Each structure stands twice: as C-alpha cells, then as structure tokens.
A and B are shown apart, each in its own frame.
Chain A
C-alpha cells in the first residue's frame, strides 16, 4: 500500500475530531500489518470504490466510542445502542468522505460505501492480500485506530470487468461480462 494514501486520512481524522468533539489528537506509531485484524469492541468498516479502492476500518474500545458519541450528540450514552452505533458510523463516514475529497483534489476519484458497524471483539477481519497500514490516534476520549487497506488505479482508467473472474469460470451462455 502506498503511503501517500495515508496522509489524507490522518489529516481528515484530525480535522473532523477537532471540529466535532474538540479533540486534541496525537498520532501514535504507524505500523504495517499483513495478518488479519483482530477486531476491537467497535469497528466501523467503509469501502472505497474508484481510483483509490479498498477498505478503511476505524477500531476503538467501547468506552472510547461512548465518549465520542456522547460528545457528538450532546447526550450521555451508557450503552452501545443503535443510535450510538449510528453516530459512530457517521463519524467514520465524515472522515472517509473528507479523505476522498482530498484524493479527488490530486486526481484520484473514488466513492465511499455506506458504513457497516461490527461490534464484538475477537473476531478476525481479513483484507486478504491487501496489507494494512495501522495508525492509532490518541485523544482525550481514548484511542481511535485507523486501519487502511487501500490501493490505487491510474486516474481515469476504465473499469476492467475481467478483474472479477480469475478463479471461477462462468460458461459462455451465462457469461454476462
């Protein structure tokens, strides 16, 4: 994975956390991981599709999530109900959206998917052959860890449907590609 994809996300995360919850963010040590990610209490998963493609995950402890959501929504959350999950998903959405705007400024256009929220720690999330860059962001609310498993295509390169079928052969009559 290209390190130039990293900065837009970190900048976006710092800006959004500053604006939404007035957080003082300090960046932890960046690491590159090839193994699958063992999920934290809450993981917000957002896919990118386009010139920059792959998956971004925001992992955090339950308390961090509750602190952040309580601050954003202006009411105290004591359990991780659907409203709290929705708030956290929205935070991931805003950070990813802002990062993709920065990508598009450099010519890489991509879209983000709707967020998916995974709760429950200890399951493994595999990004297959995409290595992940892991950046912990330390705030006064707790640590938010950003996992990036992204790749780039040449900007404007047309979409190549052949990417779909390396393993499974669909017979010609059903071959809709």
Chain B
C-alpha cells in the first residue's frame, strides 16, 4: 500500500502512521532499527529503497528516505508512506524535501525515528566528507557510505580515512568480505609459514582493491604492492608470497575465483561481486564500531604502488576498457541486480 501525502509535515506523517497501525493491526511492531537513506531525488532512489526492502527481510526496520529535491523550488515536504507488499518487511517513509528544506533533512527525520531502536544512516550515492559531522550522520550509530559511488572513488576513500570516527563504514569494505574470508581460510591451512610479501591487482579506481591492500598491509606487516589493471573490473587478484610458494586468489572474469596453492589442486570458488542488498544486510547485522575497517583505512598509507603490467593492458581492447570505466562511473544508476559490473 502506498499513501501519498503531498505538501505535508512530519506530524501529519506521524499521525497517519498511528492511524494506519490502529486500523490495520500491528503494522509497525517488532522493528529492530531505523534506517535513514539520504539521497538525491533521482533514479538511484528507487534502487536504494528496493535494496533496503530486501534487507528488511532479515532486519525489519523503519526506512526513512530523505530525498533532496530542487533547491530553487518553494520549501515544502512531499511525504509518502509505503507498507505491506510495497515495503518488504519494513515500512518506508519517503520525504522529498524542496527549497531551503532540502539541506535540513535531519529536521524531517527526528520526529519519525523509532523510540529506543538504533539508527543507521546510508548514503547510497555521494556522501558527506565527514559522515559523523553530517547533521543526519550525527543522529546515527552507524554511518554507511559508498566510495565506489563517488566521482573519484579512491580520493573519497582517502577522505573517509582522515574523517574516520567509530561507527563509520563503507560498502566498498563490505564488498570485500568474501575475498577476505577466502584469504583468511587459506592461511589457516598448512604449511604454517609467514607471508613475506603481497601483491594486489585491480582496477585503478576500485576502492575495494585499495582497502584489500590496506588490510593486508596492516595485518601482515609486509610490503604490499598495488598493481592497477586496465579493463578488468574491481579486484582482479591477490598474491600472498611465502617461502614454499605463493597463494594466489584471482578473479579475472568478475565471477569465479581460482585459488592456487603450492602442492594442492587448484580450487574454484564462487566469488561474484556482491549486490547492494547483500552488502546492506551484512552492514545491518552489526552496529558496533568496525575496528578492522579502521585498521584497513590506516593501512592505506602503507601500500606501495606498482606499474601497470603491459601484458594485461595489451590484452584488453580499448572499447572494453572504456565500457568498464563507464560502468564504474555510474555503478549505482543500475538496479542492484546480480550481474552488476565494476
């Protein structure tokens, strides 16, 4: 059910929510958190709501979408309430803010927050430079940004590292979890030898690749080389060097990973790029500070950059490289389907 409340106020929205609950039964019971989505009023808005609705199957929540509309219009709020089939296991409140109100999102959010429940803020598009100092970010225990959605992802990651406060997290970090899990599991097995060096290869502007390298540098305390590939998307491969031979985890096609270790057969692993829904579910699972993310941001400064390998560059046609870059520039414009690129 979708109810539009044009030119409204937050108290009217609240009254409507109470009325709907009284009439329709326990619509709003058992919510475990409030998710605030701060976004521009554009095509990425629906994709973000859809991801939040999917995530609500695991984390029933009240979703408040603060969409910034035209700054030059007269100040007003257009509200919309979605419940039932249109909202997964959540209830969605969309607030479109126009004119001077557009920059005052927090004033529209505060009256609608669930009592006592934790608050999570998510910027699916371009996020604030210092999330914890943003008016909406200040309200939240957990602040989710997405460096990959920024105009310059790697630079954005650097900014995040400088502004880091406990409770910050980034979807570029969440996308790494499967990679990290496989690498950790590989080191759990014999031969138990120290890693002497590491090489991380990936797309030039892939923040996940940077973070992976940072994580390795911070935890292994060995030189980590970052090689920028051309054409291939996202993370391409990780090599951990040891005296007995290297562990290599590579994913040239963006789907299937191959794990090679000396003295053991090559193993193939499903290592598909994760969609936003998956990442959001993982993010909402824990609301405490992520120390490992903080450590990896710290590790960013320790990465040595390597040259772009000529062989890899030569193999890829310019057209493919361009397509990859284009997909990179606007990754959020697409619905979060499983075949997302970058």
Chain B binds chain A: no
